[in-house]
Amino acid sequence: MSLFKGSPYRRQDLEAGGGSRSGGFDDDDDAGEASSGPFDIGSTKHIPIERLRRWRQAALVLNASRRFRYTLDLKKEEDRKQTIRKIRAHAQVIRAAYLFKEAGDRANGTPLSLPIPSGDYGIGQDELASMTRDHNTNALQQYNGVKGLSELLKTNLEKGIHGDDDDLIRRKNIFGSNTYPRKKGRSFWMFLWEAWQDLTLIILMIAAVASLALGIKTEGIKEGWYDGGSIAFAVILVIVVTAISDYRQSLQFQSLNDEKRNIHMEVIRGGRRVEVSIFDIVVGDVVPLNIGNQVPADGILISGHSLSIDESSMTGESKIVHKDSRAPFLMAGCKVADGSGTMLVTSVGINTEWGLLMASISEDTGEETPLQVRLNGVATFIGIVGLLVALAVLIVLLARYFTGHTENSEETKKFIPGKTSASDAVDGAIKIVTVAVTIVVVAVPEGLPLAVTLTLAYSMRKMMADKALVRRLSACETMGSSTTICSDKTGTLTLNQMTVVEAYAGGRKMKPPDKGSLLSSMLSSLLIEGIAQNTNGSVFVPEWWGCRGFWISNRKGHSQLGHQGSISQIGMDFEAVRSGSSILYVFPFNSEKKRGGVAVQLPDSQVHLHWKGAAEIVLASCTRYINENDNVVPMTEAKVIFFKKAIEDMAASSLRCVAIAYRSYEMEKVPTDEEQLAQWVLPEDDLVLLAIVGIKDPCRPGVRDAVQLCQKAGVKVRMVTGDNLQTAKAIALECGILGSGADATEPYLIEGKSFRALSESRRLEIADKISVMGRSSPNDKLLLVQALKRKGHVVAVTGDGTNDAPALHEADIGLAMGIQGTEVAKESSDIIILDDNFASVVKVVRWGRSVYANIQKFIQFQLTVNVAALIINVVAAVSSGNVPLNAVQLLWVNLIMDTLGALALATEPPTDHLMHRPPVGRREPLITNIMWRNLLIQAIYQVSVLLVLNFRGRSILNLEHKTPAVASKEKNTVIFNAFVLCQIFNEFNARKPDEVNVFKGVTTNRLFMGIVGITLALQIIIIEFLGKFTSTVRLNWQLWFVCAVIGFISWPLAAIGKLIPVPKTPLSEFFTRKFRRRRDSQN
């Protein structure tokens, strides 16, 4: 769960009703919660705690500690919030007390203490931590400010620390590492203890002990321990296998959580920007901060431009705090809300407030998913039926036993009033109770909700290999229901490798675009100045690139500027230009205004304001341009038309159009006071156009195929980009988002401002039709998401910027970009796409559908076992007073069904077949008509065959010549063996509920084949060698063949059954309609 609930990036949930489609949200808002059932939860993304409490209270649970292990621990969550509040309050009180003391010291003239050296450094960790934690500006001034502090820490403010291994180790040893002690995960023994908590298993163990004691008393220790001992052994086996399975899942989640915490950041070391893990940041590091970054440690601002920090994670208040030389202290865990800057790290890990906070709270990674909640509902319903059946069996068996209507294998009465001893009577009653309790174990599918966790754990691990890091479990399955994906363009559909291929400068088109000699001296000088200063990137020449080009490095990765080295061609020495003038003020690039600017002071005290941004927007602010003769001339109507035509032509060729402009400014008008400078609005009118460039950002290879795959799967892909509408149209046609030029008209193609200007009803009307939205702001994206959700869509949204956070948070599934994405965007997201590739988004859809499909396979398999086992035992108990499947046998069946079945079926990899059908509606029934058909065919077959064997087995199996006791044992062994083999064969049928060929791809799933092989091997061992424990006898090859044939028939039977058509209307809906009609007719 997030700690940043007070953050301004986290918008209130605006879920809307009124959808008519299956993915709609009309049941998820507050109005719908009161009327819907406790298990009817369509989305758990913004759900109130009270709603989560409701379904827990409604669930029938035999082992709460296991069933609710991976759900959110509501009590721990409350305790965690309380702890956070206490620590925040504690920190604020200490800070206030220190400020009070500091004011007193100033009034009394008390001198400050000198820094105490520590090792090779002129200051110790205690002084650093105290200064930053208490925001002690007096202490900072005493150390001669950030410059003096950097000297004490042996850091160069421009080049950073040396960063060699010895330097890093020394700093970690003296100042600590940027990690905090985390609570250890649960040990295997804890999982074993939790598996013991099952009420039915406890009853079975008590029964086993009682049976053991009575058996030893009546038959002696040599023979009397088998009955009780076998039940105890079976229960222990169930517990151990369950604990091993749960422990493995826990380890997978633990490794995924470690991956989520491992944020990568840029630091300056040895004069170069390098990317390191947040855990590797050390005291003395110089860290560049940009909008959306997380502050990685406590530190002091070196320099900043409009730097604003969101401190809600530490203070709990949604307040953006401006940082400058008067308020230079930065706290770990906060987010950069605006601007940019660099910081000097002064405290890391446990020496920061954030470290203390994280170390003192237990991070509860539990979170329920909609499917998990619905399966708890299914399990509760089945469990209630099972309990009623078990109770009926118990009453019937006890009544028949004590009235003398139950016979043993010698066909004599088991209980004769006045003759049967008390110990024999108690032993008989215990066996009956044991059978009834075991029916409950089989009937209540505890493993059903946990199968979701198993398949999610498996899917999450595999999705990591497919470049997707899942932050919220529920997003995994919700993605399978997504009906639309609103995707960014740059870096997601395209490669984000920018190359200048067209340029207009000096009032004309440059050929070639990177020929620096074509530029006049003044134009070249201003252009170089504007490019070098109006950026937060840096230029470097990779060794592998040689002399063929320069690359720009920034937080969004690397992109080549120009072709064959444009920077060198126009004569730019990047570092020399940057050091030749000083930056007065920065207006960071803004996705609302689509431009960014910088005020630069030259050595001769001239001030230049440089702007860059969307070509048509910057062009609209230009009143002049520099011609080929180095003269600044007015922008005529003809020239505006010329430049607009150039922009349109470049955009139509799928080029991104960027304009670069400047204006001179009077030094006297520039605010000198730091506070006034922070509030200064950089003039953006009366600009002089320097150049318009067309940048090629090619489509990613395979993106067209990925888009087509989505369209076949019933998922509409929409492009939402800040780029020019014509550029967006060209890329959309190239990617296949737009089928043809005929589609490229309103409302399929629309500008953000046009969409924004529409009324709410009109937005709802056209939202479905929109394929491309150009020149969109983050708010336009949010409006589109809200409109699509109101229309009943399940919406996935990709985003990378801080301003995308509201849309990512609002969407059903927020997909943040791993390379370009800011920390704010990532935190607001549900899944992080590690390679920023749209093809990876499509893989997430496949995995989402696979989760749902695997759960359905498991439900079909488990319910078949449930139905068959219950009916066989009930019919046999009522008719003869004996059950063919005893307690130990049922526990083995339960193990096959719950743990091994879940492992085999919940880990099936996704297939292309999943993408050839429409999305799964979130209100569609879990058990489809196809599943009911398959389930009933198999259950009816198994019940029919096994009941025939139960009542006519002696004659059919030719056992009449044997004694009744031997014949009965052999017949019951055949029934048990045939029943288990039916489940093994039926496991193959469950793999493909709607395909005739159930063996397709089976050999590639080694886990499935391994589990089937192990189950079969164990069954052979049980029958042939463990007869004393399971009350079975060895079977000859003819009876083994009969059992195998009974199991094998389920394959052709399933294939024939799949030819039977099923109605599209779900059975539940069919009965609901019938009930409504009857009620209406009565009314």
Q: Which residues are catalytic?
A: 488
Which of 517, 632, 531 minimizes the C-alpha distance to 581? Answer: 531
Which class for 1015: exposed (0-12), middle (13-18), buried (19 or more C-beta within 10 A)?
buried
Residue 161 DSSP SS3: strand
> Which has the closest alpha carbon to 99: 157, 54, 138?
138
Nearest Cα residue to 299 out of 333, 265, 339: 333
Helix (H, G, I), strand (E, B) or coil at 611: strand
d(CA 781, CA 358): 34
Rounded to the nearest 5°, which phi and psi values hold at 622? -90, 130
Place of tokens 């195998």: 1044
For 145-170, b/e burial (b = at least 16 CB within 10 A) is: ebebbbbbbebebeebbbbeeebbeb
Q: How many residues does the chain have?
A: 1083
The secondary element (H helix, E strand) that includes residue 718 is strand 716-720
- The CA-atom distances, in angstroms, between 596 and each of 304, 662, 775, 843 are 16, 12, 15, 36
Q: Given the DSSP bridges, would you call strands 795-799 and 484-487 parallel, antiparallel or unpaired? A: parallel
> What angle do the packed helices 422-443 and 838-880 form, to 10 degrees?
150
315-331: b or e for each residue (b if 16 or more CB lie within 10 Å)? bbeeeebbbbeeebbbb
**Helices within 919-1005 (DSSP H only):** 929-956, 964-991
Angle between helices 226-261 and 447-465 (to 10 degrees): 40
3-state secondary structure of 126: helix
Alpha-carbon span 281 to 296, nearest angstrom = 8
Tokens describing residue 443? 């009937």
Number of alpha carbons in the 13 Å side-chain half-sphere of residue 313: 25
Within 10 A of 589 (CB to CB), how many other CB atoms are there? 17
Which residues neighbour 189 within 8 Å (Cβ) at sequence distance 6 or greater?
none
